[in-house]
């Protein structure tokens, strides 16, 4: 990257929960944006969004939206990615796609910069880089130093996922249901199959023939691809909880070689993107309410699993819209401009 070079960046799905966070992260990290092209659906015609103190008009996404674009950050859902990401790549943009559309395709890199930045170079295959699912991202950031030090045989994870993972309409739904409950009114249910206020739903994305949800199988398959290790056993239970921002995860990991809790704590404290918060006797552990707006993945409750020889338990929390989506995508774009564009 030359000192004063700037890049034309398109944000597809700019009016959404993730798209809005993309603008925030580009601004907070001072990404060298020259032109910013904001793209969304017909519904957003006439809207403007603020970036660096300027109001930028939202344009309607089309196949001709990408002329002159260097980097296209997609977060408008998998069907929009399938339809428009190849057109963007064809027009010369490098696409960083937040959807599940291309994640498991062999020739498309699936990247978490703290874990497998070297995979970014494979963008030349199809002009597309996939951003993993939010629940996968924060887990692999925390497991990377453990994987490198002791190897990983098996992971058992249960998630506690915030409603912001389901988009802007779900954030409004939790807010509305909470107010309706407080006023003694009947709760209106539109986004989830049941009320989400004061409830936990063991159901994220659709159910598959094996009894798992698609979200759970994303965690299994994406973790193996990012570590480049198809032998890791992964089993997941993903749960939606009435939290606005911040996914929490209880992770049990069986390592190949023994790693003490103390050693794991030391390794995690030095790992990129990780902040250890682990002083339980002083009530210090990661919390969703503390991670909102933060870039780090927080890890605490680090304990040895006393039921097996080589086991650890961790509690991992991150802002699902930032590290789980927008920040990870912008970090990929930073490596792209630093090393490749």
What residue number has its CB nearest to ligand NAP?
16
> Would you count residue 98 as binding ligand NAP (CB under 6 A)?
yes
Tokens found for residue 26: 């580009």
Nearer to ligand 3JN, 81 or 255 (CB): 81
> Would you count residue 297 as binding ligand NAP (CB under 6 A)?
no
Give the CA distances from residue 101 to residues 109, 225, 333, in Å, rounded to whole numbers and listed in that order.
12, 15, 19
DSSP letters spanning 123-184: GGTTSEEE---HHHHHHHHHHHHHHHHH-EEEEEEEEEE-GGGG-HHHHHHHHHHHHHHHTT
Instruction: State the CB neighbour count (10 A cutoff) for residue 183.
Output: 7
Pick the catalytic residue from 203, 247, 290, 291: 247
Residue 168 interacts, among ligand NAP, ligand 3JN, none and using kind-specific CB cut-offs from 5 to 8 Å, with ligand NAP
- Annotated catalytic residue 134: yes
What does the per-residue mask of binding to ligand NAP show for 109-128, with x meaning CB under 6 A? --------------------
Among the listed residues 19, 20, 109, 165, the single contact to ligand 3JN using CB under 6 A: 165
Quote the CA–CA distance of 203 and 142 in Å, as a whole number. 24
Nearer to ligand NAP, 299 or 322 (CB): 322
Shortest approach of ligand 3JN to residue 208 CB, angstroms? 13
CA angle 328, 333, 336 (to 5 degrees): 130
Q: Which of 65, 87, 85 is nearest to 74 (CA)?
A: 85
Shortest approach of ligand NAP to residue 42 CB, angstroms? 7
Radius of gyration of the CA atoms of the chain, in A: 20
- Annotated catalytic residue 200: no
Quote the CA–CA distance of 87 and 69 in Å, as a whole number. 11
Q: Which of residues 87-116 bind ligand 3JN (CB under 6 A)?
A: 99-100
HEC sequence for 167-223:
CHHHHHHHHHHHHHHHCCCCCCCCCCCCCCCCCCECCCCCECCCCCEHHHHHHHHHH
Shortest approach of ligand NAP to residue 41 CB, angstroms? 3
> Would you count residue 65 as binding ligand NAP (CB under 6 A)?
no
Count of residues interacting with ligand 3JN (CB under 6 A): 12
Tokens found for residue 15: 């009016």
> Would you count residue 44 as binding ligand 3JN (CB under 6 A)?
no
Residues in contact with ligand NAP by the rule CB under 6 A: 13-19, 40-41, 43-44, 61, 75-78, 80, 98-99, 131, 133-134, 165, 167-168, 324-325
Residues at the site binding ligand 3JN, with contacts judged by CB under 6 A = 77-78, 99-100, 133-134, 161, 165-166, 204, 218, 320
- Please identify every residue annotated as catalytic: 134, 247
């Amino acid at each position: 990257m030359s000192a004063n070079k700037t890049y034309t960046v398109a944000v597809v799905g700019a009016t959404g929960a993730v798209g809005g966070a993309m603008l925030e992260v580009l601004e907070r990290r001072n990404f060298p944006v020259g032109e910013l092209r904001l793209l969304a659906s017909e519904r957003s015609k006439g809207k403007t969004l603020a970036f660096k103190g300027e109001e930028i008009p939202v344009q309607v996404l089309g196949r001709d939206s990408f002329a002159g674009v260097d980097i296209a950050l997609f977060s408008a859902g998998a069907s929009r990615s399938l339809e428009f990401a190849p057109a963007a790549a064809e027009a010369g943009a490098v696409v960083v796609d937040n959807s599940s559309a291309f994640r498991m395709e062999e020739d498309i890199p699936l990247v978490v910069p703290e874990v497998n930045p070297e995979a970014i170079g494979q963008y030349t295959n199809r002009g597309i880089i996939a951003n993993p699912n939010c629940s996968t991202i924060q887990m692999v950031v925390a497991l990377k130093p453990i994987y490198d030090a002791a190897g990983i045989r098996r992971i058992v994870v249960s998630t506690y996922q915030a409603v912001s993972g389901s988009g802007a309409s779900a954030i409004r739904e939790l807010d509305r249901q909470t107010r309706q409950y407080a006023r003694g009114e009947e709760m209106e249910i539109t986004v989830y199959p049941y009320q989400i206020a004061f409830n936990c739903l063991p159901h994220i994305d659709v159910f598959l023939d094996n009894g798992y949800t698609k979200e759970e199988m994303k965690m299994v398959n994406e973790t193996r691809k990012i570590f480049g290790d198809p032998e890791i056993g992964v089993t997941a239970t993903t749960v939606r909880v009435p939290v606005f921002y911040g996914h929490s995860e209880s992770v049990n990991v069986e390592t190949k070689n023994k790693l003490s809790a103390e050693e794991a704590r030391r390794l995690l404290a030095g790992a990129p993107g990780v902040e250890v918060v682990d002083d339980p006797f002083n009530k210090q552990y990661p919390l969703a309410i503390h991670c909102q707006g933060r870039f780090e993945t927080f890890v605490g409750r680090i304990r040895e699993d006393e039921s097996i020889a080589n086991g650890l338990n961790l509690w991992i929390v991150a802002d699902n819209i930032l590290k789980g989506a927008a920040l990870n995508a912008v970090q990929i774009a930073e490596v792209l401009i630093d090393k490749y564009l």
